[in-house]
Structure 1
Amino acid sequence: MVLRQVNGTRNGEKVVSGSVVEAGESAVLHRDLGYHFLPLKEGHGNYLVLEDGRKIFDASGGAAVGCLGWGNERVAQAVTEQMLAMPYCSTVYYTTKVQEELCRVLVDSTDGKMSRAYIVNSGSEAMEAAIKLARQYFLELSPPQPQRTRFISRKQSYHGITLGALAVGGHKFRREKFEPLLMDVTKVSACNRYRGKRPGEPDEAYVARLAEELDQAFQAVGPETVCAFVAEPIVGAALGCMTALPGYFEAMHAVCQKHGALLIFDEVMCGMGRSGTLHAWEQENVVPDIQTIGKCLGGGYQPVAGLLVNRSVVDVLEKGSSAFVHGHTYQGHPAGCAAALEVQRIIQEEGLLSNVRAMGELLSVRLRERVGQHPNVGDIRGRGLFWAIEFVANKDTKEPFPAHEHVAMAISERGLRPEYSISVYPGSGSADGIRGDHIIISPAFNVSADDIEWIAETLARLVEDYFAELLNW
């Protein structure tokens, strides 16, 4: 999350600058050139510490990144030792022990379902690699299928900010300025139990309807032209922790298999333990052909992300050219691998996945108790330590607030005030791609029950205060 404040007012609220550099004086091409960003000094455990000494509880781990909290000495030491030993590896010629160990840990964590891992520096890079790998897979098949050049993904999805990743994503705001540059990708409906189901429609009927929509999408573009269907097992930024209904991904996988296409799971935000299991697909009874991973892989201690590749895909490449025609200067970066390896060891050694499940259940109960009945809270959803609250103007009709009111951003910025001092992650577009506001709560895997109680109570005050002021209650 970007921590920021601006002098004057925003959405009718007074906001005081905490920046040590005036907006017009900064040399940084910030995300927003008109705001004064809060000066972040350091982090300790679950707290972010500003230059003025004020502490903010990081209830979202940034963008669902900080799975161990901040200031973990084991991870910092592992990175330092690797940087002193060898900070860079030219993967054209060499490999490193730390990359080999990390990839072995990742592959073994899938119980043999995946056979190779590929380490890059961001989720967007991982998705770019997944797209290209899917294409190359069909070129290496025997006989090859060069006509497969298309992808199908979902509306209200987010897969990264680079052009290929943006093309398969369905986040309207992030796409709109760059639409002419993007490859043509067919979009189908997301599995949205809150807004997508018809009144009285059984879950099974809704899943069957979505499977039929996907099948029709294959038929419309020519099933023999499709490389893969791309989806997030739990939709993060675009829909706010939207989980799929039981049987949904099994149905989608069946359609892909019917037409000979691959299934790509984007687990950059929801994976590596965030959902309560190391891989979100473990809870869906489906194994993807290609999986992207990121955020909680390295917990924010280094830029690191990657791919996990199903044995069936790897076998085709091994029997074909034996080379993935893709590469980055900093792929397999030793410092990134060292951070990720140590983070994953800590998660395993400290049994943090069981804590994710237990604290996630407590968080869901407390959020529903404290704000579930609020007239502007439409839905509370999630899994593990990955939860969202969707806000509405009308609870009965699910009418969203106008986009220009920026409700989620205003709530998250209000949370940074001293009387709350809590950081959550805002999102928009959850109703129709433009309208619809939600905040994500995704704290570190090692949070305590006391932390969860504080988060729920503070969020309740924040939500109640914001809407009381907004609606003049």
Structure 2
Amino acid sequence: MSHIFGRHCHANPPVAVGGEGCYLIDAAGKRYLDGSGGAAVSCLGHGDPAVTEAIKAQLDKLAFAHTGFFTSEPAEALADLLIEHAPGDLDRVFLLSGGSEAAEAAIKLARQYWVERGEPKRSRLIARKQSYHGNTIGALSAGGNEWRRQQFGPLLLDVSHIDPCYEYRLRRDDESLEEYGLRAAQALEDEILRVGPDTVMAFMAEPVVGATAGALAPAPGYFKRIREICDRYGVLLILDEVMCGMGRTGSLFACEQDGVAPDILCIAKGLGAGYQPIGAMLCTAEIYDAIAAGSGFFQHGHTYIGHPTAAAGGLAVVNAIIQRGLIDRVQTQGEALRLRLEHRFGQHPHVGDIRGRGLFRGIELVEDRATKAPFDPKRGVAAKIKKAAFAEGLICYPMSGTIDGRQGDHILLAPPFIIEDHQIDELTDKLERAIAAVI
């Protein structure tokens, strides 16, 4: 009997004992193609010797030093490397242990910034429906997935949620993509005016929505218009790249492809590639300087922030992504994956949309392709596909509630950047069999 408090009380997952490249291996010797990188985490695959050696070397020198007393060499080097490649005016890095912590820190920093600036009325956060920003109370409040929020509702912060940029479901027949993008962005200005511009501290969004909407990329011009609206009303723009960043969509920072830069940015998952728990919040010099010129103290922190061993792992991962040309590889293999998915599922009667960027791809499943009608949630299509794929030896990331937190099903794919062509074929073969077995 296990004493682990697992994710589900009635599941008995196999024991993972090894990892080789794009595969995980259980105690029985079965190999699983990691078609989702866990949860878009394992961008370098499993068993990367350069990363593991960097972590071992750091452990030999210094495992941990509390940031209340020290900084460390790998933390400083990682911050320098991130800022060297960061978009816009991002200038400072706050290292944490994961994505939820990064989102929480971003929300608190936005609030403290306005307090330090002498505008304490600015306390409202605006985010989007069908977004996911983490599972702490603040991050869950920002997230817009009703299924995740429902039982915790009485504990959550009062956050405004506008419609996502969801072209497949929300674009009108008489609109171009660009026209729809502008209309979707207008929802932000409408909400700012509704609640009062002097009360809004920040708008928070994922450049490409991950877990809750299945690699949902924005319409052209959407984020440029969002940036303009934020600037007009003095609202901070927080971009959550925890899942879609660090090369996953074909650029080191996902927002680069939309031609915008945020005031605050969150990264994690691919930052450590699973080798160490690490996340980061980046902010502009203007925000940092406002704190420095005021209290001088960001009233936030955790014991393991800036952890030297985690920072060493993150530094090795980011260096690998940059120095091995993996951004170009994501673009090439992402296109290969897109073409395979289009070939296999482009005319499938129960596939409504195939979307995403780079090696971040989503398939939205429907009961009726012509009407876009989703499957009855009682059928549990996503969960059954996850189970069927796992039996085939494929790890993928199906989720339900795609449309509104209750209705809709999608499959998220986010394989390691090192995936080979024959493994893309293996992925699509196994996924096709899993979908057929369930639907």
TM-score by length of 1: 0.91
Aligned to 1:158: 132
Q: Deviations over 1:73-110 (max 9, x none)?
A: 21111111212211111101101001000100011111
Distance, in Å, in 1 between the alignment partners of 2:142 and 2:378 is: 26
Distance, in Å, in 1 between the alignment partners of 2:231 and 2:87 is: 22
Q: 1:440 aligns with which of 412, 423, 426?
A: 412
Distance, in Å, in 2 between the alignment partners of 1:279 and 1:461 is: 34
Q: 2:47 aligns with which of 68, 71, 76?
A: 71
Query: Post-superposition shift, 1:465?
Result: 3.4
Stretch of structure 1 that moved more, 201-210 or 277-286 = 201-210
Query: Post-superposition shift, 1:199?
Result: 2.2
Q: Does 1:44 align with 2:16?
A: no
Q: Deviations over 1:160-186 (max 9, x none)?
A: 000000001001111101000001000
Q: 1:185 aligns with which of 155, 159, 162?
A: 159
Query: Post-superposition shift, 1:113?
Result: 2.5
Asked whether the 8 Å contact 2:182–2:221 carries over to 1, the reply is: no
Aligned to 1:360: 334
Stretch of structure 1 that moved more, 260-269 or 84-93 = 84-93
Q: Deviations over 1:92-145 (max 9, x none)?
A: 11010010001000111116631111110010000010001001111122xx10
Q: Report runs of 4+ in structure 1 exceeding 6 Å deviation.
A: none
Distance, in Å, in 1 between the alignment partners of 2:71 and 2:302 is: 14
Distance, in Å, in 2 between the alignment partners of 1:230 and 1:49 is: 38
Aligned to 2:436: 464
Q: Deviations over 1:280-300 (max 9, x none)?
A: 011111100000000000100
Q: Does 1:211 align with 2:185?
A: yes
Q: Does 1:387 align with 2:365?
A: no
Report SS of the residue matched to 1:42. Answer: strand
Distance, in Å, in 1 between the alignment partners of 2:438 and 2:411 is: 13
Stretch of structure 1 that moved more, 33-42 or 453-462 = 453-462
Distance, in Å, in 2 between the alignment partners of 1:294 and 1:394 is: 37
Query: Post-superposition shift, 1:252?
Result: 1.1
Report SS of the residue matched to 1:175. Answer: helix
Report SS of the residue matched to 2:337. Answer: helix
1:267-346 alignment, distance < 5 Å: 267-346=241-320
Unaligned runs of 5+ in 2: none
Report SS of the residue matched to 1:28. Answer: coil
Q: Relative to total residues, which structure has the larger helix share, 1 or 2?
A: 2
Query: Post-superposition shift, 1:315?
Result: 2.6
Q: Does 1:375 align with 2:375?
A: no
Query: Post-superposition shift, 1:460?
Result: 2.2
Distance, in Å, in 2 between the alignment partners of 1:398 and 1:448 is: 33
Unaligned runs of 5+ in 1: 1-24, 468-473
State percent identity of aligned pairs.
Answer: 44
Q: Does 1:351 align with 2:315?
A: no
Q: Deviations over 1:28-48 (max 9, x none)?
A: 111110111122111111111
Aligned to 2:6: 30
Query: Post-superposition shift, 1:435?
Result: 1.0
Stretch of structure 1 that moved more, 32-41 or 329-338 = 32-41
TM-score by length of 2: 0.98
Distance, in Å, in 2 between the alignment partners of 1:98 and 1:212 is: 42
Aligned residues: 439
Asked whether the 8 Å contact 2:129–2:161 carries over to 1, the reply is: yes
